[in-house]
Chains A and B, each alone.
Chain A
């Protein structure tokens, strides 16, 4: 038996956006979750495991989706996974909006999924005097129904019981919506043909397949086009379609959708009552929105919020950074002392102390600001503010030919460009998606901060905040101009529409915030633990070869490499071999620039500042920071662009474009600055 062999049961978690799916996911899996990638794409795949009654379950949290219609990259992933027959589908719905949420439920049931319907946020429904007859709903849909309040884990034990009962049960009779007589006739005709091919009906229920063929579901059509016998079925499909279109005067997808909504209306009438008519009242969220999305106050409020985010991030992380620096200086001294006493070779001591410990330290000092920034972004997301930011920025984004939804990926880019680029998959329009993706690397991510902090600390100590702010601003301006230019010449296409849900404001839970922060921040730690350390070690080795050469001198391999590149950088004011080397390695990850400088100047973390003071002027330091901001996205970002755009052409274009922009800006700033008498 297949069921006995299967070690774990796969549960797909599906639901509309904002139905509280993530909090249910957290309630089910606790901390036992990890973020991986879907095969072939960078889209995050959130998975978690839990055990119950000696059984192991793997929960896959699918991107929020309204239907299986798949209009965005996100929804395509959700659809494809649901089509691949997960053992159990847990369909999370917002109890206060059954009318909308049940649309997906119906599609899942029609597909024949083993489904548990979760009426989440049942406390909010109660507060709004919405009464749902759980038993009746379960009978009418022929599927178990559970009420939950996910953040408080209410209803979770019952949900687990339902899942266990459902697991491995023989597929029940497939749920069916009774469509209008004339539609049923056409479905029956196609179904009759399909049942002639058992290899097909083994995989999908024949009725469902007939409906999908009529609706013209793209993925099913693609799959069916490969089957030679389908040529006996397609003529009937076309004939049926034509007949129905003639009769209803609408396309088939619309006809079916209307029929499903009709079914939902009756279902809801029977199972749900909204007591105490509160129509026409404005909720607390609406009242907050009156201020937050105000036509004049909206944008200043948003800018103030962002200012607050950055101020808090830096103010709070400063002492932590100090402690880490102290700790690593201490470690370096102790390690040198101990190793020297043990009589370890100088060569090896240098490797451990200058290479490894120094490398790790120079990266770890950026953990506090990066985590705090991610915490702040999670706070904006979980409270519901981020959707409002998109709303108020919509008007400005229109100037660029984009719309408000494109703003969220840009905002996330301040944390890290990789999630920023991945967030573009919520955009409906391919042109918009490409532009938003390509301008994202110009948004100054947290990894550039170390470079700014180092250089502004040395040269602009009194105006540090303002100088860093000017770099963020420059990144935004470059992104804006690029977007406008790309929209006009490269990705023309129509502007797609801004249609976005504004979830009600919520007070985020501390647990939820930390889970989100950890999800994002830990990828930085992992990067620091692998790529960055490997790079620092590689740099250290290259700085020591060929044998006998003085460590990190211009005679070493690394020195020669840098010397060859240096003349190209001279017009920007930093044409030394050390800066060239740091920029080359900065492609691996921007924060590596600082670590590389430490290695090639042959000093520790605390000595870099002094070396920078000797090798740069304020003007060339500024030009160097601009170069670091713009020149080439880091490897992780390049990888994200490649996978999300699915095109090497676009990826190489992105590299070339940013390199030209970065170099030109750095040169312009240095040259014009000199003419103006700066130095």
Chain B
């Protein structure tokens, strides 16, 4: 089931400590595939570890991944 449009927000807006589910990646094809193979696929839950100026750090399972703000803007997520 597709989530209602209004609850989607960019990952870059999610404060530290929150857990969200990835719904859509709107970046260009190349980066979408890159993110996909790194494990950022639809339905995956990620937790934001830190989000201040500069790149975000998110937890994907047990891993920590740094994502620039530009990428994080293009990952649309839904709060749990």
A residues neighboring B (CB under 8 Å): 18, 66-67, 69, 71, 94, 96-97, 99-100, 103, 128, 251, 253-254, 257-258, 261, 265, 279-280, 282, 285-286, 289-290, 293, 295, 387, 390-391, 394-395, 403-404, 428, 495, 497-504
Number of A-B contacts (CB under 8 A): 116
13 residue pairs of the A-B complex, CB under 8 angstroms, read A18-B63, A71-B34, A96-B61, A99-B39, A254-B32, A265-B43, A279-B19, A391-B66, A394-B68, A428-B34, A497-B68, A499-B65, A501-B66
A678–B47 alpha-carbon span in the complex (Å): 59
CB–CB B63/A286 < 8 A: no
Q: Which of B16-59 contact A (CB under 8 A)?
A: 17, 19, 27, 29-39, 41-44, 47, 49-50, 52-55, 57
Chain B interface main SS type = mixed
CB–CB B66/A97 < 8 A: no
Least CB distance from A266 to B in Å reads: 12
CB–CB B31/A497 < 8 A: yes
A390–B71 alpha-carbon span in the complex (Å): 17
CB–CB A69/B33 < 8 A: yes
4 A-B pairs besides A257-B33, A390-B66, A394-B55 with CB distance below 8 A are: A258-B36, A282-B49, A293-B57, A499-B66
Contacts of A387 in B (CB 8 A): 66
Contacts of A94 in B (CB 8 A): 62-63
Q: Is B67 an interface residue, CB under 8 A from the partner?
A: yes
CB–CB B30/A71 < 8 A: yes
CB–CB B67/A254 < 8 A: no
Q: Is B60 an interface residue, CB under 8 A from the partner?
A: yes
A548–B17 alpha-carbon span in the complex (Å): 81
Most buried by B among A94, A404, A497, A502: A497
CB–CB A289/B19 < 8 A: no
CB–CB A404/B66 < 8 A: yes
- Beyond A100-B61, A295-B52, A497-B71, whether A258 also contacts B33 by CB under 8 A is no
Most buried by A among B41, B47, B52: B41
Least CB distance from A415 to B in Å reads: 24
Contacts of B68 in A (CB 8 A): 394, 403, 497-499
CB–CB A502/B64 < 8 A: yes
Q: How many residues of B contact A (CB 8 A)?
A: 37
Least CB distance from B22 to A in Å reads: 11
Closest to A100 in B: B39
A18–B63 alpha-carbon span in the complex (Å): 10
Contacts of A285 in B (CB 8 A): 64
Contacts of B33 in A (CB 8 A): 69, 71, 253-254, 257
Least CB distance from A487 to B in Å reads: 16
CB–CB A391/B62 < 8 A: no
A67–B33 alpha-carbon span in the complex (Å): 10
Least CB distance from B51 to A in Å reads: 11
CB–CB A66/B38 < 8 A: yes
CB–CB B53/A500 < 8 A: no
CB–CB B30/A280 < 8 A: no
Least CB distance from B49 to A in Å reads: 6
Most buried by B among A66, A279, A498, A499: A499
Most buried by A among B17, B36, B44, B55: B55
Closest to A68 in B: B37
Closest to A261 in B: B41
Q: Is B70 an interface residue, CB under 8 A from the partner?
A: yes
Least CB distance from A110 to B in Å reads: 14
Contacts of B37 in A (CB 8 A): 66-67, 69, 71, 103, 257
CB–CB A289/B47 < 8 A: no
CB–CB B55/A501 < 8 A: no
- Beyond A66-B37, A289-B49, A295-B52, whether A500 also contacts B19 by CB under 8 A is no
- Beyond A96-B61, A499-B35, whether A280 also contacts B71 by CB under 8 A is no
Closest to B49 in A: A286
CB–CB A128/B62 < 8 A: yes
Closest to B18 in A: A280
Least CB distance from A572 to B in Å reads: 41
- Beyond A251-B29, A289-B57, whether A100 also contacts B63 by CB under 8 A is yes
A18–B67 alpha-carbon span in the complex (Å): 17
Closest to B54 in A: A395
- Beyond A71-B33, A257-B33, whether A289 also contacts B50 by CB under 8 A is yes
One of A258, A293, A498, A504 near B50 (C-beta < 8 A): A293
A293–B54 alpha-carbon span in the complex (Å): 10
Contacts of B47 in A (CB 8 A): 279-280
CB–CB B41/A257 < 8 A: yes
A295–B42 alpha-carbon span in the complex (Å): 31
One of A99, A428, A498 near B67 (C-beta < 8 A): A498
- Beyond A71-B33, A279-B19, whether A295 also contacts B65 by CB under 8 A is no
Q: Which 9 A-B pairs have the closest CB atoms?
A: A67-B37, A100-B39, A498-B68, A96-B62, A502-B64, A497-B71, A66-B37, A257-B36, A261-B41
Least CB distance from B30 to A in Å reads: 7
Least CB distance from A353 to B in Å reads: 56
Contacts of B17 in A (CB 8 A): 280
Contacts of A253 in B (CB 8 A): 29, 33, 36
Contacts of B61 in A (CB 8 A): 96-97, 99-100
Contacts of A69 in B (CB 8 A): 33-34, 37
Contacts of B70 in A (CB 8 A): 495, 497
A279–B31 alpha-carbon span in the complex (Å): 28
- Beyond A257-B41, A395-B54, whether A500 also contacts B65 by CB under 8 A is yes
